[in-house]
Structure 1
Amino acid sequence: MLHSTVQVSDFSLNTMPSMLNHPFNRMKKVKNIILLIGDGMGFSYTTGLRYFNHDSRLGLMKPTLFDHYFVGTQSTYSLDAKSNITDSAAAGTALATGYKTYNGALGLNSEKQAVPSILEYAKFRGKSTGLVGTSQINHATLAAFATHHESRENYHEIADDYLDERINGEHKIDVMLGGGTSYFSRNDRNLVEEFRKSGFGYAANSIELLADRNEKLLGLFAPIELPKHLDRYATTVPSLSQMTKAAIKRLQQNQDGFFLLVEGSQIDWAGHDNDIVGAMSELKDFESAFHVAIQFALDRDDTIVIATADHSTGGMSIDRNDNYKWDPAVIRSIKSTPAVIAADLHKTKELSRITRHMHLSLHQEDWKTIQTTLEMEVGDTKQALINIINHYSSTGWTTKGHTGEDVPIYAYGLNKHKFSGRMENSDIAKLLFEMID
């Protein structure tokens, strides 16, 4: 497995993706960049959010927060000989480096050469940097901005890189918040303690996050991914907006500015499961984080905020079976994700406990279906619940994988007009590189 490290000397005109011949070649220098990636968040998700937020059956739907800042779209395809649908690693690399690449690659171009990321370049220019996500923080999209590996599966090595690699003698990343304790506190190496010895604060829950006063911070709030927003306890696991606020609070102390990446990681995971409850839960969490970023940038003339997706997932459809009636009230009536409901039912074997999680009148055959799955695996019960909720809400899906359509770009602040129209995902990174200079 290739493991390449970008050196300071690599930050040159030969390795920087150029847009000098691009029509978007004149812009103002930015101090702060906040890039938010809703993993798997295609247009059907953000349109679905507008329906989801609409309480009345009549009247015009109010715009979502995203609607106010829509500027353009970007193409997501990868440069992969076997597939023309991207994975998160290839899309993350394009958004991070300005180079499209093959699926599974982190921070490498299609020739498997390490190329600098916008996070690394920001650190090279003296800015502070941060990674925030709801997956483990060494997962594909986040890792594409801070490491260089042939395979996104090198989770331990990626975690090691977050501590070991330096730019100008400093740690590459100043704030890291999300999941992944099992990758950072291992039998072979305790990265948590090493980060502490290197001057980082450490937070393991929401209370510790609020209490911490360190400028550099590692926060790990789950062994792997965080619970879905709908399933979190506020005292133990912070929301994406809380983590975003905590990161900005620290990063803005640098007079040279900062680069912050915020990922709504599990919009994608809900899409893979065809779980509309989880999808809307995670999308609301992501929208709140976008709001925090916008609030920071308001009345400033030195900050750009961009929200986009790496790809869409699941082929979500706002209706199924020609019903012409998507019913988000069904989704709002469910207070836990299907995974949590299924786990509870298998633990207790009490079918009646479903009413603690779902305020939904089910048909008798639905009760029988769920009862039958209690003799099977938890995953079977979870899938049965997903199928039932999709039926009652009239939510359609075409796949459990990624889909290849263009995805939206939302922007606010300095140079936001540069992201208007249609562009390649790699163009976003190219623009950000030039904005730093």
Structure 2
Amino acid sequence: MISPDVTGASNTNVPSVGPSRPKNIIIMIGDGMGPAYTTAYRYYKDNPETEEIEQTVFDRLLVGMSSTYPASVSGYVTDSAASATALATGFKSYNGAISVDIEKRPLPTLMEKAKSLGLATGIAVTSQVNHATPAAFLVHNESRNNYIDIAQAYIDTDADVILGGGQQYFPASLLTQFTEKGYQHITEFTQLDSITTPKVLGLFADVQLPWAINDNRSHKLSKMTQKAIDLLSQNQQGFVLLVEGSLIDWAGHSNDIATAMGEMDEFAAAIEVVEQFVRQSKDTLVVITADHNTGGLSVGANDKYEWKPEVLSRVKASPDEIANQAIANEQWQTVVTELIGFTPSDTELTALDNARLQGNEALTIALRKIIDVHSNTGWTSGGHTAVDVQVFSAGPGARLFGGHQDNTDIANKVFSLLPESAVKQ
């Protein structure tokens, strides 16, 4: 058993005065957020008018690294389900597993343990709420792809806060079960302000929430995170909250650097909300990591010693949205130039014209490649890679997460920091 009698954080930015065991635990996962993403984000946010390269929240809170490999049956490269299972249970499993072992037997999860101890629980994500990562913290299933079954299983979790996308997986009959169990069901983001008490099921999109780059800096994840904290804090025994920047991974799979930086900014803003809460409460631990690395992002490529984040800062919409508008407008070159933030060369315009004739997907891919060329961004894969990921932490017990560890170690350390006995109800 790991001793939890460690106070404070291993950095100097968050006060170390506080209890040895946290009352509240917040787990934050940047899906697909390998080390190159946080590096790229630092340069993306850098103020070019200053000599100094400014720190980001990731730099402030960095404490260690984590390996991510799944059970040996799946090799060295994990998917989100196996990694989330490790982070939620402390056990390795196969790719696709939702908190079941390699024999498909249920593994006790952090959220289940927290509930048994009288703590409130919640999730706030930018994907569908029944996607692999949140699912592994809440339920058990032999396959991450059984979205309907996973959504149905949520009714038995008794989670106090469920916020994200995924309307298409929650039919009217299931929603009735939630409301009969006392849940407030909302579908418009503006309705979130009116929610003042748990329980709440907020489904704000058919599947994923909008790309942050297209969402006018509305910082939906930050607002969901703050609301979840406000609601869960009403439990005097404490809470466990999972927050996921889900769409970093989705942009990585598409090798879409501009959209990925928008999602990184969204996740960083949510971390800053939590960081402030940790500063104020002094009884809350936050542990932040990635489940794996996606895309093999390279900050610099093509044998050139350069990377140009200023190109990305000028991109005004995601490539798929730019493609939508370009296909709908005869003056598409003007549209592309305005939204992409630079004027493509004649050769590039010819390639875009040919792609436009093939439809949205072809034009979207062509736009991504041109943005890569102008920013000198590289990718090695459309899937995941096996590199270690970073670990960030602050609050009571944060030093436990320093140095190198496995993702199962992270879970076991968090388990060790839970209350020692159940609260009498």
The verdict on a shared fold, with TM-score over 0.5 as the criterion, is: yes
Residue identity matched to 2:361: G
Trace 1:103-252 onto structure 2 (pairs within 5 A).
Answer: 103-163=95-155, 165-166=156-157, 171=158, 173-184=159-170, 186=171, 189-232=172-215, 239-252=220-233
| TM-superposed deviation, 1:347 | 3.0
| Partner residue, 1:348 | 329
Q: Give the TM-score of the pair, scaled to structure 2.
A: 0.92
What SS does structure 2 have at the residue aligned with 1:106?
coil
| Contact 1:106–1:143 under 8 Å retained in 2 | yes
Q: Post-superposition shift, 1:301?
A: 3.2
Distance 1:392 1:215 in 2: 48
Task: Write the deviation string for residues 319-338 of structure 1: whole angstroms up to 9, x where unpaired.
Answer: 11122110011001001010
2:5·2:21 contact (CA, 8 Å) conserved in 1?
no
Query: What code does the residue aligned with 2:282 have?
Result: D
Instruction: Name the amino acid aligned to 1:336.
Output: A
Q: CA deviation at 1:276?
A: 0.3
Query: Which of residues 258, 269, 277 in structure 1 aligns to 2:250?
Result: 269
Query: Pick from 253, 264, 267: which aligns with 1:283?
Result: 264
SS at match of 1:374: helix
TM-score (norm 1): 0.90
Counterpart residue type for residue 207 of structure 1: T
Query: Which residue in the other structure is 1:36 paired with?
Result: 28
The one-letter code matched in structure 1 to 2:252 is G
- 1:4-47 per-residue CA deviation (whole Å, 9 max, x = no partner) reads xxxxxxxxxxxxxxxx2x5x565533210000000000110001
C-alpha separation in 1, matches of 2:413 and 2:173: 38
Corresponding position of 1:94: 86
Contact 1:132 1:261 survives alignment (8 Å): yes
Q: Could you tell me how far apart the structure 2 residues matched to 1:159 and 1:94 are?
A: 21
* Partner Cα distance (1:87, 1:45) in 2: 18
Over aligned residues, Cα RMSD in angstroms?
1.6
Measured after TM superposition, the shift of residue 346 of structure 1 is: 2.3
Gaps of 5+ in 1: 1-19
Contact residue 200 and residue 214 of structure 1 kept, 8 A? no
Is the contact between residue 337 and residue 343 of structure 2 (CA under 8 Å) also seen in structure 1?
no
Contact 2:219 2:266 in 1 (8 A): no
Q: 1:131-172 deviations in whole A, cap 9, x for unaligned?
A: 111100100011010111110000000000111x25xxxx1x
Q: In structure 1, what is the equivalent of residue 17 of structure 2?
A: none
Three-state SS of the structure 2 residue aligned to 1:298 is helix
2:331, 2:143 → 1: CA distance? 43
What SS does the aligned partner of 2:317 have?
Answer: coil
SS in structure 2 opposite 1:278?
helix
Q: Indicate the SS of the match to 1:286.
A: helix
Shift of 1:129: 0.5
Q: Is the 8 A contact 2:259 2:318 kept in 1?
A: yes
Structure 2 equivalent of residue 15 of structure 1: none
- State whether structure 2 residue 394 is matched by structure 1 residue 412: yes
Match of 2:51 among 52, 59, 63: 59
Residue by residue over 1:316-373, the C-alpha shift from the partner in whole angstroms, topping out at 9 and shown as x without a partner, is 1111112211001100100101011112222335413223422212111111111111
Deviation at 1:410, TM superposition (A): 0.4
Structure-2 change in CA distance of 1:238 and 1:332 (3 Å):
closer
Q: Where does residue 6 of structure 1 map in the other structure? A: none
Task: State the percentage of identical aligned residues.
Answer: 41
72, 76, 93: which one pairs with 2:68? 76
Structure 2: gaps (5+ residues):
7-19, 421-425
1: distance between equivalents of 2:4 and 2:101?
A: 23
**Per-residue deviation, 1:79:** 0.7
CA distance in 2, matches of 1:203, 1:298: 31
Aligned-pair CA distance for 1:314: 0.6
Q: Is the 8 A contact 2:219 2:269 kept in 1?
A: no
Aligned length: 405
How many Å separate the matches in 2 of 1:350 and 1:138? 41
Give the Cα separation in 2 of the matches to 1:391 and 1:418: 42
- Superposed CA deviations along residues 241-268 of structure 1, whole A, max 9, x for unmatched, are 0110111110000000000000000101
Q: CA deviation at 1:117?
A: 0.7
Pair 1:247–1:82, CA change in 2 (3 A): closer
Shift of 1:101: 0.8
In 1: Cα distance, 2:216 partner to 2:303 partner: 38
Say which SS state the counterpart of residue 125 (structure 2) adopts.
strand
How many Å separate the matches in 2 of 1:421 and 1:245? 29
